[in-house]
Structure 1
């Protein structure tokens, strides 16, 4: 399950020691695990994509993943989980979420993100212990819980609340006309990948799609189909064109499609159809979640993905053709 690393290492100073290489690989896999990919190569491309969104976000994402990985290791988490990046991806998203909500340029944001990455590691263990006996994964639930709590509490603390940070970087519902042009579709498709990491830029999404292709062409294909299903659903329901062009219709759909076809359910025709149904459901659920969270000022984050995937995975046990157990 883990990449073997030689115990001897190289004598030359140019080659990092084995433990450092192992840690670096685990951190990169942690970034890849945001899209269920235990791939250091994909994680490296994702890190590049975040840096393209802004060097601060690249730093927050990488440092957050590293803090989560170190915390889990120090607390004695299973070595395979740490090595595969399963203890890093929620911390990565937590750091990015807090940077987006509070603004990345403040020392208080960096300190709170550091604390959040430690806390989310504990929340990850708690969520795993609660959902594990039910046969359900925790997904990004730890990130959603931690980041939502921090975002809701932040306005009450003057030393961490700086006029709302940079809300434009967060997934939020849009208003306006529904007419959708070719440029809106193209931008929306690519931005749908970018919004997984809370970034709105289409070119960031293009790099993230490249990372998916580097790790798994099958996963990239499923992600593209899920993205398309999300956009089609949003358009059919009359979602504002600005929201679709900003990636709001795609990012939850991408994650749901990946989870339900090839990760937690086998990859085959029946599960692909089921996954695309889930992708459509998550897209439709997005505005409902946004409305519920609006009074608290908490962004949507990946709540639609988490809730939809848990429901569809629980239901899959009743459908033998899906391979649910």
Structure 2
């Protein structure tokens, strides 16, 4: 559960489960059960033990199971069966994504979850046992409407909703608990998550997004993940990478409506696609910027590859160079 925010910390994952329980115990059951089933499937298929213990085989399945519970209803047997099957499939998808992206030394992140979640939401209206609600999910995107002025209560709600929307929930207290869980594992990670949330709010406001969209957190949650990924997880935590990560957070925020508009006509959702696309692009580019991959050293003109770049390629947290304590690099 903790690997949703790149933290291999059991206490962080436990608080995440508690936060979900404050909304609906079934949401916590889906998320924890999904993480357990994904990990057990990977273990049965012979995935290395270090990946299992770090939580790298469970967070995509946890997100998928929770996503299906929120979108399809947690009280329906069809949802539970579909979630269980999806957790098995997303484990296979994780292995495939690891293999494919390893060619470019890039991490799969939440790509397996995104692919399967979009497939399910697009296909759901075609199957009555999965989607008995009648209306299709497909909708044409429209222009932004509504007042853009932000009030203090909007800012406060947006700050915490940018975190709670990582678990598809518009609940400020859930966001507060999730943020506290991040601080529990790493103060650095907590501060970076706060900076990512603020960047998402500022970017959305500067671009003229409606205050309601900013306040509900649906524009800024990808920015939180991007900031964490680019400062302290896949790149060392340093002033240069913090600025780089916040630039990525702003980019992901601006990209979110574009992804939503592309997927809306087919009934899909943006999910964490903006995070995946932005992070992969910025990580690939970072190899051309030695001040980001090794900010404490001068650029080396020699032909030898930078060890920090190798760490990014292996998707491990650069702990010796300022990485986040306890971070194992989600989806390594």
Q: TM-score range with shorter-chain normalisation?
A: 0.7 to 0.9
Q: 1:161 aligns with which of 114, 119, 131?
A: 131
Q: Equivalent residue for 1:10? A: none
Q: Equivalent residue for 1:28? A: none
TM-score relative to the length of structure 1: 0.87
Unmatched 5+ stretches in structure 2: 138-142, 294-307, 310-332
Q: 1:226 aligns with which of 196, 201, 204?
A: 196
Structure 1 residues 164 and 219, CA gap change in structure 2 (3 angstroms) = farther
Equivalent residue of 1:234, what SS? helix
Matched, 1:49 2:22: no
Deviation, 1:261, is 0.2
Unmatched 5+ stretches in structure 1: 1-30, 168-172
Q: How many residues align?
A: 289
Q: Distance in 1 between matches of 2:168 and 2:4?
A: 12
Matched, 1:97 2:78: no
Q: Equivalent residue for 2:226? A: 256
CA contact (8 A) 1:103 1:164 kept: no
Q: Equivalent residue for 2:49? A: 79
Q: Distance in 2 between matches of 1:126 and 1:164?
A: 35
Deviation, 1:302, is 0.5
Q: Distance in 2 between matches of 1:68 and 1:177?
A: 43
Q: Equivalent residue for 1:12? A: none
Q: Distance in 2 between matches of 1:164 and 1:252?
A: 30
Matched, 1:115 2:99: no
Equivalent residue of 1:53, what SS? coil
Select between 271-280 and 195-204 the one with higher mean Cα deviation. Answer: 195-204
Q: Equivalent residue for 1:23? A: none
Matched, 1:141 2:111: yes
Deviation, 1:250, is 2.1
Query: RMSD in angstroms over aligned alpha carbons?
Result: 1.4
Deviation, 1:175, is 4.3
Matched, 1:311 2:281: yes
CA contact (8 A) 1:103 1:162 kept: no
Equivalent residue of 2:22, what SS? helix
TM-score relative to the length of structure 2: 0.85
Deviation, 1:300, is 1.1
Q: Which digits, 9 at most, give the CA deviation of each residue in 1:133-153, with x for residues without a partner?
A: 211000000000011101111
Q: Which digits, 9 at most, give the CA deviation of each residue in 1:99-128, with x for residues without a partner?
A: 122111110000000000000000000000
